[in-house]
Amino acid sequence: MTGPKNLESRTKHLKQTWTKHCHRVLYMSSVKTDFPTVGLNVSEGRENLYWKTIRAFQYIHQHHMDEADWFLKADDDTYVVIENLQYIVSKLDPGKPLYLGRRFRPFISQGYMSGGAGYVLSREALRRFVNGFHTGECTHFSDIEDMALGSCMEKMKVEPVDTRDVKGRQTFHPYPLDHYVIRQLPRARPWHLLYDYYPPNEGPNCCSDFAVSFHYIYPVQQYVLEYFTYHLRPYGYFYRY
């Protein structure tokens, strides 16, 4: 998800970093450009974010449904480690209605996935999401994109997946890594502690070794994370599973 004003300041840097590891990338915007972006004919602005998401998934369903098993939605200030995401979904069946991400608690009985951390729909979940708007079971009832999509997922009987690792550490993160490692979750946003579906961890054990995403990652940090993820290795050290 991006917009015309972010193509130079954010999106072009995603093109040079983590999106190179995807099987297929689509940049969804309000208008079509030579970047390239897909024009969704939706106005920009947070109040239109859910419309933008609906139109994006409808577009993918119409034009790319048979090209993938899993569909990731991410913002232009999110960093994603695609290989770790592939590892998580490799154990799951895309023919089942499944929905992955950082699970939040309030408003929806089964919870919903944080939009900033990015979320993933299985092929069957995507089919049900689009069908929900055809049947009227899902509607644009709120401007809060991630919560509204989560409501549709619940109505369409799409199951949320626990994406924590075997040690109970989170893999999808709605904030940058430093907010967790140095035990300083944003005090200006105390809702974060209230929204987590599972008890949050802080400090060195805050995050999985196979973390998938971090949010509020701007251009410089995109390249730093890319280097740490794919190049930096301590000599003689390896993981024991």
For 93-106, the pLDDT digits (tens) are 999 999 999 999 88
CB of 39 within 8 A of CB of 29? yes
For 174-215, what is the HEC assignment? CCCCHHHHCCCCCCCCCHHHHHECCCCCCHHHCECCCCCEEE
For 56-94, the pLDDT digits (tens) are 999 999 999 999 999 999 999 999 999 999 999 999 999
- Calculate mean pLDDT across residues 96-123: 96
SS3 32: coil
Share of the chain above pLDDT 70, in %: 94
The structure tokens listed for 172 are 């999808």
Please state, as a whole number, how many other Cβ atoms lie within 10 Å of the Cβ of residue 140.
14
For 26-62, the pLDDT digits (tens) are 999 999 999 999 999 999 888 899 999 999 999 999 9
CB of 130 within 8 A of CB of 138? no
The structure tokens listed for 33 are 């450009």
Share of the chain above pLDDT 90, in %: 80
Paired strand residues for 104? 112, 196
The pLDDT of residue 240 is 52
The pLDDT of residue 188 is 47
The structure tokens listed for 52 are 């933008």
Average pLDDT, the chain: 92
The pTM score is 0.92
**Angle, CA of 9, 4 and 56, to the nearest 5°:** 115
- Calculate mean pLDDT across residues 118-125: 98
The pLDDT of residue 191 is 60
Cα separation, 25 vs 22, in Å, equals 6
